[in-house]
Chain A
């Protein structure tokens, strides 16, 4: 069974640029959730995708957007990067339905300068 993978591991962007982060869900999982974890804080929910549809969104502006593909992998896109977007971005996959466990990938460390 393959776990959750994310790419890239880390990247550095300049304020105002755009970035795309990628996530491959665990085998058999059809739901992907994205979280932002600032240094020294708990993860904050960005949004969740279930069977390619957005299934809930946290308190993040529209410049944070996402996609889920037919193979249940997912992308997180952030436009007009701001310094405060510097964080660890985590992807979690789950089965959906009555199984609630969310399993996290290793994250992508984004630094905005």
Chain B
């Protein structure tokens, strides 16, 4: 059973544009929602994370929007750059225990 559904599978954005990746979850016990960035041959790197008591969190060009009633959350990358080209994973967990990952989104930013 896939507990975190991520879309789109791949995304092409022009340099300077906004990249938007969406995730939906089923388990209402999840209380921590991080996003990871992974480059080929590397481990995932923590980008930004949110708890369900806030609806939005911004760190630099990265923003998480969270909709608890819809059980959905999304990552927005503003002013996307070619260096942002990577695979992005959303995840969810209950109190820091096992992370349940989405299937990933391959982002390509065209210069």
Give residues 54-111 of B contacting A (CB, 8 Å): 89, 91, 93, 95-104
Residues from chain A with a CB closer than 8 A to the CB of B93 are 100
B12 lies within 8 A of chain A by Cβ: no
CB distance from A29 to the nearest CB of B (A): 12
Per the CB 8 Å criterion, the residue count for chain A at the interface is 27
- B42 partner, pick from A41, A45, A55, A106, beta carbons under 8 A: A106
In the bound complex, CA of A58 to CA of B69 (Å)? 27
- Dominant SS at the A interface? strand
Residue with the greatest number of chain A CB neighbours at <10 A, chosen from B34, B43, B45: B43
Q: A41-B103, A43-B101, A45-B98 are in contact. Are A90 and B49 (CB under 8 A)?
A: no
Tally of A-B Cβ pairs under 8 angstroms: 60
Do residues B44 and A90 form an inter-chain contact, with CB atoms below 8 A?
yes
Residues from chain B with a CB closer than 8 A to the CB of A1 are none
Do residues B43 and A101 form an inter-chain contact, with CB atoms below 8 A?
no
Do residues B99 and A102 form an inter-chain contact, with CB atoms below 8 A?
yes
Nearest residue, chain B, Cβ from A6:
B43
Interface string of A66-109 (1 = CB under 8 A from B): 00000000000000000000000010101010011111111100
In the bound complex, CA of A43 to CA of B49 (Å)? 17
- B99 partner, pick from A40, A43, A99, beta carbons under 8 A: A43
Do residues A45 and B100 form an inter-chain contact, with CB atoms below 8 A?
yes
CB distance from A60 to the nearest CB of B (A): 11
In the bound complex, CA of A40 to CA of B41 (Å)? 12
In the bound complex, CA of A3 to CA of B32 (Å)? 22
B46 lies within 8 A of chain A by Cβ: yes
Residues from chain B with a CB closer than 8 A to the CB of A24 are none
Do residues B46 and A102 form an inter-chain contact, with CB atoms below 8 A?
yes
Q: A42-B101, A42-B102, A43-B101 are in contact. Are A104 and B96 (CB under 8 A)?
A: no
A interface with B by C-beta (< 8 Å): 4, 31, 33, 35, 40-45, 48, 55-56, 58, 90, 92, 94, 96, 99-107
* Seed contacts A33-B99, A48-B98; 5 additional CB < 8 Å A-B pairs: A41-B104, A42-B102, A42-B103, A101-B49, A102-B46
